[in-house]
Structure 1
Amino acid sequence: MIKKSCLYIFLFFSFYSFSQKIIEKTLNSDFVDTDRKIKIYLPQGYDPDAEKNYPLAIVLDETYLFDVFIGNTVLFAAKDKAPKQIVVGIEMSKTRKKDTYFNINNGKFTADNEKFYQFLKNEVLFYVESNYKTSPFISLVGEGAAANMIANFLREDTPFINSFICINPTFSDFIGGQMQEFNLPRYQKEDNTFYFYTNNSTSFSDIKQTKIDELQKGLASLEIKNFHVINDVINTKNSVAAISEAIPRALSEVFEIYSAISKEEFEKNIKDLSPIDAISYLENKYLDIEYLFGSSLGIRERDIYAVEKIIIEKENGDQLLNFGKMILKLFPSSPLGDYYIGRYYEEGKNIRKALKHYKIGYGKMDPADPNADAFYENILRLGGR
């Protein structure tokens, strides 16, 4: 009970804090029959004149899913597990089936479905990307039949959606055949990264569970390096509870690359690499973060330390120079780049160059930094002042 109360308190203050950053806009649509309202959440610190860009999440049904999704993005960003995001909530028609519920006889879009699809693609996305500082990373989020609508964006000849988050999905009986028509293996030709999340739940009917399970098994059989299939099963008696669990689980997977290197990531992707490959992995991780999410993080010190042992202990430390140069490239204000370059030269007995880089690194440090004295000891040890 105490844990739940703390969560509710957090969400309350989160909603209160972001309530002043929501912009409401009415789009005069050429596709859907009536004008539609959208809500646009701009994260704390958003500055239209700054160079920073933000991933974009389009949430179908702003009535309830919008606020819940924002609450999770605020928490994930605060914990450095995901970048801050611009979130757009879409007003649905009063009869939701008109927008997203497909023809049950063949699984195809109705005329109204196609209009809503084009509205999202050609008007909502165009408006938001034209007026706000969005990065190339786009997520679509929907629940129920809206998840089926989202899945149909896989049909695009030129993929432009990175993350498909299908919560408590109501798919057509023909979704398996449609997925084959979408020819998902073609995504591996794209120089981009994609995520497709679906959840099953014990709260669903047996028929629905079976349908989702079959789809998940089919998707799991695909081996597409840059197309990450996330098949989730949520054990709950309540479909509403499944929504509250699915969102953070999806975000955790979709933004895994953004997070600092975890023990699992190190064990799976890094520990067996050569020093030069470990350096490349770390460099590419941060280049991807900057490109996809518009977040120039520099480089986290904990990630530097995560691969340090590989660089120092393998190949006699010969890659220390490249390691230091990579850090300086991504994080020029960090003293660590100069430290590793200095260590490289010291181990090669080139004391003059080692001392030079130790001094440059120390000059970047705040005297109040608790590590400053230890860093200065390198200078004293080599006879410098």
Structure 2
Amino acid sequence: MIRKTLTLLFILFSFAVFSQKIIKKSLESDILKTSRNIRIFTPEGYEKDNTKNYPLAIVLGDAYLFDIYVANSVLFSSKDKAPKQIVVGISMAETKAKDISFHVKSGQLTANAQNFYAFIRDEVLFYMESNYRTSLFVSLVGQGYSANLITHFLQENSGFINSFICINANFSNFIREELQSYNLPKFGKKDNTFYFYSNNSSSFSAQKQLEINLIQTDLSGLEIKNFNVINDVINTSSSISAISEAVPRALTKVFEVYSTISKEEYDNNIKDLTPKDAIYYLKNKYLEIEFLFGSNLGIRERDIYAVENIIIEKENGDKLKDFGKMILEIYPSSPLGDYYIGRYYESSNMLKKAQKYYKFGYGKMDPSDPNADAFYENILRVSGQ
């Protein structure tokens, strides 16, 4: 299993390194009173379109976590499972523990760790947002004690971090009390979406598994609107393997809204909706994608088909006209909108109007399109031929 995982990582890393751009920079810090090395990954196409914005991921700690995250971000975006991202990796101090240390008797960050926290919040984030086209969606990624540091950002009232990805976390003994003190319900009052990912693993000691399970149970019990708690369990005998599995599993959940409608999403959120609500759900899904990730995708054809049956089969197809108009607004050159409006009029026995829209749609199609003949059947059917 480990050999297969490492082989996959090598393939992914090679793809990321040789196909994309990674910038190395020494960032002067007034807070740390020194410079700190960072690595910045910009996705393919970043320099070609100067209007598009990208989600930002800040990765703390060892270089390999940055490499794993970048490789997975490239893979997920290539499969349309997540937006392309800008990723910045922050090098740790020579004595790594200084950046992420806490007092064992209280769980509070040490002075050095508080400075590193402020460096991330006030300097790294400011630099990236000032010099790169970042969207509103910001992720923090860390593993081990870096993951513990990430949890302290939950105390910020402004909610400028959208996803907290804590991998193989080494939490302080006071983490449960700290989380209770952070007024997490505030996230439910914000017009935004938040994610907290943590993983347990069979590779951890029995005591660590118990502690993480208690933390996950506490967070899940809060049931805060807009604050999505993702409790993962990875069955593996290797902590290294757990890291390599946790990153893609976290991305799958954090960017779930970006993906096309899955069977799970359809079954849980859509299948019982009215046609009007299904249309609203589809519109809202893509408005949220644009708001969070800076990606104006229109509406994917696959998602149009995903809700098609609801529009056609419920309420006698009365919302087909609205459905068609929505699609025409987004894709005026597509025959789909005309098809649904034509179907609305046909179901209402207004055959001349139906024929008109079917002809509009057919006129937009390339004669070589394999679906053109089937589409033309609509015209013949309503014309009585």
Smaller-chain TM-score range?
over 0.9
Secondary structure of residue in 1 paired with 2:107? coil
Secondary structure of residue in 2 paired with 1:138? strand
**1:94 Cα deviation from its structure 2 partner:** 1.1
- Please name the residue that 1:10 is paired with: 11
* Cα distance change, pair 110–287 in 1 and its aligned pair in 2 (3 A): same
Match runs of 1:1-385 below 5 Å: 7=8, 10-18=11-19, 20-47=20-47, 49-61=49-61, 63-383=63-383
Secondary structure of residue in 1 paired with 2:34? coil
> Given residue 339 of structure 1, which amino acid in structure 2 is its aligned partner?
Y
* Cα distance change, pair 98–324 in 1 and its aligned pair in 2 (3 A): same
Secondary structure of residue in 2 paired with 1:55? strand
For residues 260-299 of structure 1, the C-alpha deviation after alignment (integer angstroms, 9 at most, x for no partner) is: 1111111111111111111111111111111111112221
Secondary structure of residue in 1 paired with 2:63? coil
Task: Indicate if the aligned counterparts of 2:100 and 2:113 stay in contact, CA closer than 8 A.
Answer: yes
Cα distance in 1 for residues equivalent to 2:6 and 2:237: 21
Task: Indicate if the aligned counterparts of 1:48 and 1:132 stay in contact, CA closer than 8 A.
Answer: no
Cα-Cα RMSD: 2.1
Structure 1, unaligned stretches of length 5 or more?
none
For residues 168-225 of structure 1, the C-alpha deviation after alignment (integer angstroms, 9 at most, x for no partner) is: 1111111111111111111111011110000111222222222111101101111112
Secondary structure of residue in 2 paired with 1:170? coil
Secondary structure of residue in 2 paired with 1:64? helix
Q: Percent identity?
A: 64
Cα distance in 2 for residues equivalent to 1:4 and 1:38: 27
Task: Indicate if the aligned counterparts of 2:351 and 2:383 stay in contact, CA closer than 8 A.
Answer: no
Cα distance in 2 for residues equivalent to 1:193 and 1:57: 15
TM-score, scaled to structure 1? 0.94
For residues 342-367 of structure 1, the C-alpha deviation after alignment (integer angstroms, 9 at most, x for no partner) is: 21122223334333332332333333
* Cα distance change, pair 339–161 in 1 and its aligned pair in 2 (3 A): same
Secondary structure of residue in 1 paired with 2:29? coil
Task: Indicate if the aligned counterparts of 2:9 and 2:68 stay in contact, CA closer than 8 A.
Answer: no
* Cα distance change, pair 362–132 in 1 and its aligned pair in 2 (3 A): farther
> Given residue 15 of structure 1, which amino acid in structure 2 is its aligned partner?
A
Task: Indicate if the aligned counterparts of 1:55 and 1:138 stay in contact, CA closer than 8 A.
Answer: yes
Task: Indicate if the aligned counterparts of 1:39 and 1:62 stay in contact, CA closer than 8 A.
Answer: no
Cα distance in 2 for residues equivalent to 1:4 and 1:30: 41
Q: Judge which range, 292-301 or 138-147, deviates more.
A: 292-301
**1:226 Cα deviation from its structure 2 partner:** 0.9
Cα distance in 2 for residues equivalent to 1:12 and 1:90: 18
**1:74 Cα deviation from its structure 2 partner:** 1.1
